[in-house]
Amino acid sequence: MAPVARFLVIAVMTYLGLLAVTFFIGRVIPIDPALAIVGDRAPAAVVERTRREMGLDLPLIQQFYIYIKGVLSGDFGRSVLTSNPVMDDIRRVFPATIELATIGTLIGAFVGIPLGVLAAVRRGSLIDQVVRVIGLIGYSVPIFWLGLLSLVLFYAKLRWAAFPGRLDIAFEYSFTPTTGFYLLDSAMQGQWDVFWDVMRHIFLPSALLGYFSLAYISGLTRSFMLNELSQEYVIAARAKGVSETRIIWGHALRNAAVPLVTVIALSYAGLLEGSVLTETVFSWPGIGLYITNSLQNADMNAVLGGTVIIGSVFIAINLISDQLYRLLDPRTKAQ
């Protein structure tokens, strides 16, 4: 099978698996979608009519087919909580999550890669031990606990961070976002007071996500660099008198950068899907907080719609990073 055809088959099968899982989760949980719409006190006849209108009286296979058709057309139904089409709500809240995860990933990559390189070069030294401890804490400490702790320290005590949320209430009526990305919109509109206010709000949650991304990226960078520094080309370069700086940053890191592309991409996808607790702690109006509020109010259309969108983005990033790895690594082209 040709690589393009294999890529398409994998993408379609993975996406169908995602739809199947979300659909059947929505059917097995003890929440009646009809009751969520009409309320617990609605007459039985109204509940039954609502179930028929939603197609809940049809066989599961037929319901799944209708569900797939709706998802492919961007129709996830209406949110009980907001009364808006779920897709409209997702378009409104998803840019906030993308903005948060993007800054977190940039922090993780720009800090984590140099730390991982230094830890590998000075294996067994104090800096190596410090980097490994940083990574261990990032892997093991719950993100919501660090979030609450950082709010107590940087907001309540030191007053360095802004109040949880995305924008100060003083700017809510004077600032009109166009793309949903507040940093980009405020910069394009020349509203630099809004821009810096958004930065004050986004700094703490993005730094927290960046720390967890840093722990993941620095640990794998260290492993990749240790592997590269033990290769024969490094020994040959040293024998030829090539400077250690050029060997480390020009040769070893360049080869280690190939798998690091996949690592950074997966870290980014992980922040997009794993920012639920961070958004809840910091009242960040992204898709994670949207799903959390919807789940608490038994709004399953919104929960499943948000889950499908996040899962779709994760699948897309995963597949694209896999293709980038194949393009960047000449050894995989021959396979």
The answer on pLDDT for 32 being more than 80 is no
In a domain, 138, yes or no: yes
Report whether 147 contacts 155 (CB < 8 A). Answer: no
Both 227 and 122 in a single domain? Answer: yes
Both 193 and 250 in a single domain? Answer: yes
In a domain, 249, yes or no: yes
Report which secondary-structure segment, H or E, holds 146: helix 143-150
Which sign, positive or negative, has the C-alpha torsion 68, 73, 78, 81?
positive
Q: Which of 228, 214, 248 is nearest to 133 (CA)?
A: 214
The answer on pLDDT for 155 being more than 70 is yes
Other Cβ atoms within 10 Å of 246 Cβ, number: 11
The answer on pLDDT for 49 being more than 70 is yes
The tens digit of pLDDT for each residue in 91-138 reads 999 999 999 999 999 999 999 999 999 999 998 889 999 999 988 888
The tens digit of pLDDT for each residue in 303-333 reads 888 888 888 888 888 778 777 777 766 655 5
Both 144 and 278 in a single domain? Answer: yes
Higher pLDDT, 11 or 227: 227
Higher pLDDT, 94 or 66: 94
Which sign, positive or negative, has the C-alpha torsion 311, 317, 320, 322?
negative
Quickly tell me which residue has 């009109």 as its tokens: 176
Q: Which of 308, 310, 282, 287 is nearest to 143 (CA)?
A: 282
In a domain, 92, yes or no: no
CA 221 – CA 225 distance, rounded (Å):
6
Both 66 and 131 in a single domain? Answer: no
pLDDT at residue 94, as a whole number: 92
pLDDT at residue 3, as a whole number: 62
Structure tokens at 21: 């899982």
Percentage of the chain lying above the pLDDT 70 cut: 93
The answer on pLDDT for 228 being more than 80 is yes
Q: What is the mean pLDDT of the chain?
A: 84
In a domain, 307, yes or no: no
Other Cβ atoms within 10 Å of 311 Cβ, number: 19
Overall domain count for the chain = 2
What is the span of the domain harbouring residue 57? 3-72
